[in-house]
Amino acid sequence: MGKHVITMLPGEGTGPEICEAVRKVIDHSGVEIAWEYEDIGLDCLEKHGTLLPEKTIKSIAKNKIAIKGPTTTPIGTGHKSANVTLRKLFDLYANVRPAKLIPVLKRPWDQIDILTFRENTEDSYAAIEHMVSDEVAQCLKVITWPGSVRIAEFAFKWAKANGRKKIQCVHKANIMKMTDGIFLDAFREVAKKYPEIEAGDIIVDNCCMQLVRNPAQFDCLVLPNLYGDILSDLCAGLVGGLGFAPGANIGDNCSIFEAVHGSAPKYAGMKKVNPSAVLLSGVMMLRWIGEEAAASKIEKGMNKVLAEAKTLTYDAGGTASTDQYAEAIMRAMDTI
C-alpha cells in the first residue's frame, strides 16, 4: 500500500504531547504516513484569530483523513466549538464509538462490546437558539429524514461488514413524536434491507438504566446526536473511562479520528496523561484506510502492555509517563 498523507491536529492542553506519542507508535507499526501538522483550538486563537484556521480546513479537505488531539470548547458564551464546526463543515455525519472492556481495568462486568453510532450533524446541535423573551430561551431540535436514513444505513453497513448481530435505535419517540419519531421511522425503513441483523428500538431513559444494570445485552446502538453524545460517554465509563475511549467522525469523503476526552489543561506539559484514546482512534483510522496489519500490531502491543500491567499511566493505576507508556507499546509491538 502506498504512502498516506494524513492531517495531524495536535490540539491544545495535553493534546500535543499525546499526539506526538501516538505518531511515534503509528510510525513504528511500519505504515507509511506523511504527516501534515495543522493548528486547531484555543491555542491558535491568538495566532490566527480563529479556532479553526483556513489552512487547517484546506489540509483536511485535500487529505480526506485527519487525526485530532483534544481541544477545549468554551462553555456558555464565546467561540463556537472547533469539533462541531469540523463535523458540520465536512458533513461527518457518523460518529462511531466502540466501548470494549480493557483487561487491566477491573470492572464489575465480564463482557462489554458496544458500538455506538451517533448522528453527528443534526438534533439540538444545529445551533439554532434564540432568546424568545427576556426569560425564555429556545433551541430548535432539527431531525431530518435524509439525515436519519443515512446514519441508519451507515450503522447497518458497518454492522454487517464487522459481523455484528443486533442494532437498536435509541429514542424518545413516545414524547417527541415528530423529531424522534422520524428518526425511528427511518431506522425501521432501513432495517428492512438487512434481515440478517436483528433490529429493535429502546427508549433512551430505559436504555441508560439497562446499560448500567446489564451492559452485556447490547451490541450496536444508533442514536440522534444528543443521546449519542451522552450515552457514548456512559458506555466509555462502563469500560474504564474516557482515557480508553476512541472515536471516529466519518462522512462520505472525509474522516476525522479523535479521542472523546478533553484537553486536560491542568496536566499540560507534565507528560502523564494516558494517550490510549487517541492511539485507539489511530487504530480505527488505520483500519479505515485499509492498514489492518499495522492496526492489529498496535492493538496487540497495547493489550500486551496493559495485560502485563507494569508500565501504566496514572489513570490505570501506574506511574509511567505518556512517553514511557508509548515506548513500552513499541517494544511490545517488536515482539509480535
Partner 1 sequence: MLTKATTGRAKRPSKPITLVGVDVYIITENGIPQFDDYGAFKIEFISNRGTKVWPGYVSEDLMLVNWYRCRFMATKTVTDADVDTFLAALTKKWKWSAAQKLWNYGDEAGFSKAY
Nearest to 6 by CA among 326, 288, 333, 292: 288
SS (H, E, C) 75-110: CCCCCCCHHHHHHHHCCCCEEEEEEECCCCCCCCCC
Member of 134, 195, 196, 213 binding partner 1 (CB under 8 A): 134
Q: Which of 135, 161, 163, 196 binds partner 1 (CB under 8 A)?
A: 135
Does position 32 interact with partner 1 (CB under 8 A)? The reply is no
Task: Please give the residues from 92 up to 121 whose contact with partner 1 meets the rule CB under 8 A.
Answer: 93, 121
Region of 143-151, 236-244, 260-268, 288-296 interacting with partner 1 (CB under 8 A): 143-151
Site for partner 1 in 39-58 (CB under 8 A): 57
Cβ at position 59, least distance to partner 1 in Å? 13
Residue with Cβ nearer partner 1 (40 or 114): 40
- Answer yes or no whether residue 144 interacts with partner 1 by CB under 8 A: yes
Residues between 265 and 324 that touch partner 1 (CB under 8 A)? none
| Subset of 72-91 contacting partner 1 (CB under 8 A) | 80, 84-85, 88-91
Residue 117 DSSP SS3: strand
Q: Indicate the residue among 138 and 174 with the shorter CB distance to partner 1.
A: 138
Quote the strand ranges of 239-326, DSSP E: 248-250, 255-258
Q: Is 186 left (phi over 0), alpha (psi -120 to 50) or beta?
A: alpha
Asked if residue 178 binds partner 1 (CB under 8 A), the reply is: no
253 is a contact residue toward partner 1 (CB under 8 A): yes
CA 184, CA 4: separation in Å to the nearest integer? 38
Q: Which stretch binds partner 1 (CB under 8 A): 34-42, 138-146, 169-177, 242-250?
A: 138-146
- Residue from 30, 38, 28 nearest 6 by CA: 38
Task: Report the phi/psi class of residue 113: left, alpha or beta, with left for phi > 0 and alpha for psi in -120 to 50.
Answer: beta
CB of 15 to partner 1, least distance (A): 21
Task: Catalogue the active-site residues.
Answer: 125, 172, 205, 229
Phi–psi pair at 158, nearest 5 degrees: -60, -45
Alpha helices (runs of H) in 97-224, residue ranges in sequence order: 145-161, 179-191, 204-213
Site for partner 1 contains 203 (CB under 8 A): no
By the rule CB under 8 A, 153 interacts with partner 1: no
Q: How far is the CB of 89 from partner 1 (least distance, A)?
A: 6
- Which residue type sits at 278? V
| Residue matched to cell numbers 507499546 | 329
- Nearest residue to 207 (alpha-carbon basis) of 149, 168, 175: 168
Residues binding partner 1 (CB under 8 A): 57, 61, 80, 84-85, 88-91, 93, 121-122, 125-132, 134-135, 142, 144, 146-147, 150, 251-254
